[in-house]
Amino acid sequence: MSTSSREHLRISKKRDDVDSVPYKPCVFFDFTRYYKKLGAKTVKIKIKILAILAVLLLLGGCSAVGGEDGILLRPPRPASGDLDDIQRLLTQEAGSEITYKYPKKGDYRYAVIPYDLDSDGNKENVVFYQLKSKADGIRVAIFKKEGGKWHKAAETAGLFDDVDRIIFYDFDGNGVSEILIGWAGYLDNANILTAYRFVDGHLAEIPILPSDGETSYSTSLTYAELALCDIDKDKKGKELISVELNTVLGKAKARQWEMTDSGTGSYFKSIDSVNINGDFKSFKSSEMADYDNAKQALFLTAQKNDGMLCTKMIGHDSINGGLVSLLEGDYSSRFSARDIEGDGTIKIPYESLLPCYKSNDNSENPLYLTTWSRYDHAAQNSLSPIFMAVHNRIDGYYLKLNKEWVYIITAKYDPASKIMSFYKVNPTSGSSAQFGDELFRLRSCKPSQLKDVESQGYHKLAENNQRVYCASIGSEESSALNINYETLQENFKLMVNS
Ligand SMILES: [Ca+2]
Ligand SMILES: [Ca+2]
Ligand SMILES: [Ca+2]
């Protein structure tokens, strides 16, 4: 049996028990065609290395996350009494041990998620779980409290074994949130989104028109990355943007979705799409953020086939409307774009080898010069460099390079001693540059080692909970380059997330 046939059966089997009783199906909606379409799709299945064993109820870690208006908040947790009731009901009925599952991304990273799904003023609880026997795939159940007692109002089978994310949002403005669930595919690039509404105590699927010009409905949408953001900046509502990736060709496309009513039922349809230039292996993350004078764009972090990351930007065309791909160039780095300076704007990195390293030289671990830039819309959609730095990813710091140091100094790193040594570059005619005299060293050590390290001529530059960071300046040539403890301290920065 071919992979696609197996997938066909797998998906068909799982979708038989969709709780669709109260849903008035759209007249165009044809499940048979949907199954055929899915079967025809080449969904690459690879055995996934053990899915992360779901943590016990409520242990799904969730740091502060972006709320509806970008305010940092934590999603609510159910009261412990409610949790006990729900857990008891679920295990009683399943008749077997269960593993709770929690969304890996998004605003709700709990296995049990309270949310008022039908806008009646009381929160239901959405629960993701899987039988420990793995006899069946992942399931999602909705628990509703009526007459002071919880009961399972609805349940449906999911796809695959994990949840990528869950989104609650009132897309059609009727005062009731729709429920979007992204099921985590076995490959990064092939997550599948299904959409539901919870009406009259039942869960009903919302059809999706899968792409431009399609006339037959599906119940799912394949995506590599997903974002809910106010891309058109109208402050009236958020738009759903999906990024789809053709893994064979490495080509990607961003697509905007809208919920609309055909008169016979609501559905999601694609209203615009834009190609994202480049050759991609996967998409890692997306983040709506400011650039240039408070303009906003969706920053996408993609991974290329060589393993390097690159940043892509999707914005909104304020003159003609629709999505635009803003950053066309190929800017590669081992880092994703981030607010590295903590000033509220995202910087985009790209890297080149430090002097004295050759790209084909595998005899030593090469070090890179990272240029952190801002997106410059006026300069033909290109990047304007803000600063250049040498990063030490292992020890979690970077040294900004003053302009007069760039291309004049280079570095080597010894992971055993945690010493990064900086050298003057000796330009040689007719061949590549050579490491010249050593100028200074940076070194990280444990706080308990500081005295010993200081006795070796090091001065403390910075410290955090675990490590102390020091410098030692050893060459007279350093002063000619304005390298002293003051400038090093000023230029030395700890990475918050490397
Ligand atoms: Ca409710
Ligand atoms: Ca709605
Ligand atoms: Ca909007």
What CA–CA distance (Å, rounded) separates 121 from 57? Answer: 25
Q: Average per-residue pLDDT in the chain? A: 81
Among 193-202, 293-302, 354-363, 476-485, name the one with the lowest average pLDDT.
354-363
Position 132 scores a pLDDT of 80
pLDDT over 90 at 191, yes or no: yes
Q: What is the pLDDT of residues 110-155, one digit of tens each?
A: 889 999 999 999 999 999 999 887 667 899 999 999 999 999 999 9
pLDDT band at residue 59 using 50, 70 and 90 as cut-offs: very low
Q: What is the pLDDT of residues 441-482, one digit of tens each?
A: 999 999 999 999 999 999 999 999 889 999 999 877 888 899
Kindly give the distance from the C-alpha atom of residue 288 to the centroid of ligand 3, in angstroms, as a whole number. Answer: 12
Kindly give the distance from the C-alpha atom of residue 302 to the centroid of ligand 2, in angstroms, as a whole number. Answer: 32
Kindly give the distance from the C-alpha atom of residue 173 to the centroid of ligand 2, in angstroms, as a whole number. Answer: 5
User: Residue 23: phi, psi to the nearest 5?
Assistant: -75, 130
* Helical packing angle, 31-40 and 3-15, nearest 10°: 150
The DSSP symbol for 449 reads G
Burial of residue 212 (CB within 10 Å: 0-12, 13-18, 19+) is exposed
**CA 27, chain centre distance (Å):** 37
Proportion of the chain above pLDDT 90, given as a percent: 57
Q: How many CB atoms lie within 10 A of CB 118?
A: 19
What CA–CA distance (Å, rounded) separates 369 from 199? Answer: 56
pLDDT over 70 at 28, yes or no: no
Kindly give the distance from the C-alpha atom of residue 119 to the centroid of ligand 2, in angstroms, as a whole number. Answer: 10
Q: Which residue has the higher pLDDT, 23 or 251?
A: 251
Closest ligand, as measured to the CA of 124? 1
Nearest in space to 82 (alpha carbons), one of 62, 57, 101 = 57
Kindly give the distance from the C-alpha atom of residue 27 to the centroid of ligand 2, in angstroms, as a whole number. Answer: 20
Q: What is the pLDDT of residues 354-400, one digit of tens each?
A: 999 887 666 668 899 999 999 988 877 789 999 999 999 999 999 99
Q: What angle do CA 280, 282, 283 make, to 5 degrees?
A: 105
DSSP SS3 for 89: helix
pLDDT band at residue 78 using 50, 70 and 90 as cut-offs: low
Burial of residue 377 (CB within 10 Å: 0-12, 13-18, 19+) is middle
Residues 6+ apart with CB under 8 A from 110: 58, 60, 62, 75, 77, 102, 103
Cite the DSSP H helix spans in 65-158: 80-94
Cβ 265 vs Cβ 24: under 8 Å: yes
pLDDT band at residue 497 using 50, 70 and 90 as cut-offs: low
Burial of residue 188 (CB within 10 Å: 0-12, 13-18, 19+) is middle
